Structure 1
Amino acid sequence: MTVPPRVAIVTGGAHGIGRRIVERLAADGFSVVLNYVTSKDDAERIVSTIVAAGGDAVAVRADVADEVAVAELFDVAERTYGGIDVVVHAAGVASHALLTELDLAELDRVHRTNVRGTFVVDQQAARRVRSGGAIVNISSTTPRLSQPGYAAYASSKAAVDAITLILARELAGRDVTVNAVAPGATATALFLAGKDEQTIARIAASSPMNRLGDPADTAEVVAFLAGPARWINGQVVYVNGGAA
């Protein structure tokens, strides 16, 4: 009897870390539902590449902070593949400004996607992920670093950590793990935007590994948590090359 592939939803899967997670899980044999919100063409290209390589994937648009759209995203996954085993919530936005100068509308934008979005996605995941499955939220090392200019973003990711750890305990007895992966400085468009070469070099040199992270570094840990890591639960796993 042939065992059907496991099924994963990846939010924010069209770019950066999310995209690399989609590619990694597809390579590991998952059927992947790639969620995007604005990058339809990019999402469809990724799906086409996966299918051409013999994998299985579909792209579905949904704003992660919209509970109706997210419910439909999960409905599509269940209609298409029969169930959901893994949810990786990688969608997020960033904003960098001193607390005294930050426009509160920008604070609301960041927290709507990063905090409300995590809550909405995790709520559906908690209701629908099958036994033996995993929920993985993408957090950040920034709450631990407490750097000036990161109040909006770091506080939103601290909330992601809190939601993750509480949900792991709320799902006791379900055989579903819930963890967060907290990347450090990673070479994505989101991180590189607005930074000059000197700033990027300085940040890279601050790591004991003397480089920026690669999205594949995070995808490797996510794949571990999504698959064999059944005894890791309720944790924030830092993927930052040893950055303080």
Structure 2
Amino acid sequence: MFKAYVQNYYDMRSMAPAQHVNAHSAPFANAMKMGYDPAGPDWTYQYFSICEITYGGAALVANHGPADHVFYILEGEGYSIIQGKRYVYKAGDIMWTPGNRDHEMYPDGTANLKFLVTLCPRGFKQTEAYIKNLNDAKVTEMDGVTLFTLADEELTGSATQEFHIVDVYPGAKLTLDTPKSDVIAYMYNGKCVATVDGEKLEMNRQEDALVVPMGAKWEIENVSKQCVRFALSLSPCR
């Protein structure tokens, strides 16, 4: 089992993903980074990363077999072609891309397309692509926390992952019981302190991400004076 860690987007070395043109990616998590044997059956994330495709670039046709993608659009506009069908999205949208599907991705317009991307295989069942926005999300209110659910097994039909946008208000704490899921919390802004199995980890830079192993007891406290927003990914579903 790996130990929880915090990593910032700007501290990582970018790479050029295969079958991408004018694009770079920085992974917060993958099997090796999380301490899993890449050849073994237990790992949960093939990757969780930020990717940016510049004007004129593309993610060319790929098929990752029985593993689902979530694309969460941070900046710009774009579209995907999945099995010959076009899906258009903008900042704030999720693009659910099922495994076993040919897919490609392009910016639309002159702005760069920046997005979070996950690829998760555990619990895979064949599903259909969709786009959702926060306005379409399932909303759960907790004490000082609002959870906007954009993907879970009920919505997608596949148990590979959950994806939520979470608002945590000043002084409030985000916590979930995750005995069977690795957890990644990507922070847009603000200042928080995460506690994982008693160890404190500071999150005080925009685009910090916390990676938590399944079964760990964890919480993230907002210690700033503003609402803090996270993209929260769990794989597989609880």
TM-score, normalised via structure 2 length? 0.32
TM-score, normalised via structure 1 length? 0.32
Q: Which has the higher helix share?
A: 1
Q: Which has the higher strand share?
A: 2
